[in-house]
Amino acid sequence: MKRAPSGISPVIAVSKEAAKSLYKQVYEGYRQAIVDGNLRPGQRVPSTRVLAEELGISRIPVMSAYAQLLAEGYLESRIGSGTVVSTSLANRGAAPQARSNSPAAFAPNRRKLSKRCGSLPSAEGFFRRRSLLPFSVSQIAFEHFPLQIWNSLVTRHSRSASARSFDYGDPMGSRDLREVIASYLRTARGVRCEAEQIVIVSGSQLALEISARVLLDPGDRVWMEEPGYGFARGIFAMNGCQMVPAPVDAEGLDVASGVKRCPEARAVLVTPSHQYPLGVIMSASRRLQLLDWAERHGAWVIEDDYDSEYRYEGMPITSLQGLDRNRRVVYIGTFSKVLFPSLRIGYVVVPADLVERFLSVRFAMDLGPPTLPQMVLADFIREGHFSRHIRRMRLIYGERRSTLMQCIREQLGTEAEVPGGQTGLHLSVLVNGISDVEIAARAANQNLSLAPLSPSYMGKASRQGFVLGFGSTAVQDIAAAVRKLSSLLKSSS
Ligand SMILES: Cc1ncc(COP(=O)(O)O)c(C=O)c1O
């Protein structure tokens, strides 16, 4: 049985002026709260002393009401844990209120909602479907995270917390953290930035939402990579933008195709360092074409650089933002892959002249990021743990990735094409003549997580295949997982 927070007083109306006795009011108030399901079986109720104090009445009517509720079986006494709502009531089915909340109880035509939200992709099941099965996407090698170091930093900052650290922080994010991120981005990612241009957010998703609100109006058109990152679509849909699919090939987003389809788009969302989901890297000439188009048409480039810290062949690819001389690029980064997703810390590097706008939109949506995790992260980076972690994980993930590539070559042979695969924590395998969604559903029954590629297309999918995450898949499990994939493919052909 789920435990509700204990000892919190239920809302019951008690008036000394009422004709009904105080005892009866308390008794009836509690009984109703229990019958309605506002107080649940096993939930602890406040002591008679606390409740009498909160209601501003004497303890005697409260004691009498509790005695009556105990006698009738609504409450029970537990040695050591006070008085709780009777656990035997748990067997009586759903609370009446929960039942009357079922969608069928309301007429939908009298419950008008925004049209924009109706077109959002469903989030239902996202969390439920997440798993640590082989090939789960966006999972990290949790067992290699330097938890001890992280915990010691959490303890350090929790112990030294001051009155200031309990207050609202800087809505841009902690200055300390922005300084270390700026220095890291200049050095490792070739981003041209100062701490003053960085806004700390709760992940790329919020960064995108703020960017859309600052840069775009309803009806504006936005190029989206095709195939692309599905979660980004909800942002632009919510902001009333029209998304224009721009095809991706071996060189990344095809700028000429984008221009042909919609030259007057106001913005483009790109993942140039590691295209999601295909994994290709945007070529230098495409980068220059894109920046040139953006400058000539007054368009914005939103660069999502979500996992390029882990590059396994050659030098890291520098950011598109670093090439831009016209302040056209908004650069988004996240710690979800390089550290862990539940940290919920990301950042936007904003062109200097737009900082004020970004800040006011951010502030209107969310007064600022939580303080403690930022302090911990700033020290984690400043004290060298971050760069050590990246170096170590690059070897671990690198081995997983090369094992996966080799198994794909050996077991799937020419049947499968892997377009990218030099960066990040996932790669895509493209296979002709299959239904990736169907195979993925069958794989789930065999404890294999295959993310089908086709839903990454806004239009008709021109390729089928799977996005394979290798972040949380140990080297020794990879061959068996690819064998499973291979037999799923064989049985479907
Ligand atoms: C393309 C892309 N962008 C961003 C993210 C990270 O999002 P967030 O920072 O909101 O966790 C992911 C995670 O899988 C991703 O695939």
**CB-ligand 1 contact for 204 (6 Å cutoff):** yes
**The pLDDT of residue 397:** 97
Contact 231, 205 (CB under 8 A): yes
CA distance 393 to 315: 16
Residue 319 reports pLDDT greater than 90: yes
CA distance 393 to 236: 34
CA distances from 148 to 151, 155, 194, 204, 378 (A): 5, 10, 31, 27, 16
| 270 or 127, which is more confident | 270
Backbone φ and ψ for 292, nearest 5 degrees, come out as -65, -45
pLDDT in tens, 128-149: 778 889 999 999 999 999 999 9
Q: Residue 60 corresponds to which tokens in the numbers above?
A: 């005697």
Confidence band, pLDDT 50/70/90 cuts, at residue 95: low
Contact 452, 442 (CB under 8 A): no
What is the CB-side half-sphere exposure of residue 23 using CA atoms within 13 A? 9
**CB-ligand 1 contact for 276 (6 Å cutoff):** yes
pLDDT in tens, 324-340: 999 999 999 999 999 99
**CB-ligand 1 contact for 346 (6 Å cutoff):** yes
Contact 85, 43 (CB under 8 A): yes
**CB-ligand 1 contact for 197 (6 Å cutoff):** no
Contact 303, 317 (CB under 8 A): no
Contact 200, 345 (CB under 8 A): yes
Query: What number is the average pLDDT over the span 24-32?
Result: 96
**CB-ligand 1 contact for 334 (6 Å cutoff):** yes
CA distance 326 to 295: 7
Give the closest residue (by CA) to ligand 1 atom 6. Answer: 204
**The pLDDT of residue 127:** 78
Query: What number is the average pLDDT over the span 50-57?
Result: 93
For ligand 1, the distance from its centroid to the CA atom of residue 120, given in whole angstroms, is 17
Q: Residue 485 corresponds to which tokens in the numbers above?
A: 């994939």
Contact 319, 189 (CB under 8 A): yes
CA distance 436 to 464: 6
What is the distance in angstroms between the CA of the first residue and the CA of the last residue of the chain?
Answer: 47
Give the closest residue (by CA) to ligand 1 atom 13. Answer: 138
**The pLDDT of residue 124:** 78
CA distance 396 to 421: 15
CA distance 222 to 212: 10
- Average pLDDT value over all residues in the chain: 92
What is the CB-side half-sphere exposure of residue 270 using CA atoms within 13 A? 32
Give pTM, 2 decimals: 0.91
Residue 100 reports pLDDT greater than 70: no
Mutate to test the pocket of ligand 1, among 137, 276, 308 (most ligand atoms within 8 A of CB): 276
Backbone φ and ψ for 44, nearest 5 degrees, come out as -75, 140
Contact 214, 354 (CB under 8 A): yes
**CB-ligand 1 contact for 341 (6 Å cutoff):** yes
CA distance 204 to 304: 8
Q: State which H helix or E strand residue 58 sits in.
A: none
Confidence band, pLDDT 50/70/90 cuts, at residue 120: confident
Confidence band, pLDDT 50/70/90 cuts, at residue 359: very high
Give the closest residue (by CA) to ligand 1 atom 12. Answer: 306
| 124 or 348, which is more confident | 348
Contact 363, 199 (CB under 8 A): no
For ligand 1, the distance from its centroid to the CA atom of residue 161, given in whole angstroms, is 31
Residue 271 alpha carbon, nearest atom of ligand 1: 1
Share of the chain above pLDDT 90, in %: 82
CA distance 137 to 468: 6
SS3 content of the chain, % helix, strand, coil (to 5): 45, 15, 40
**The pLDDT of residue 104:** 63
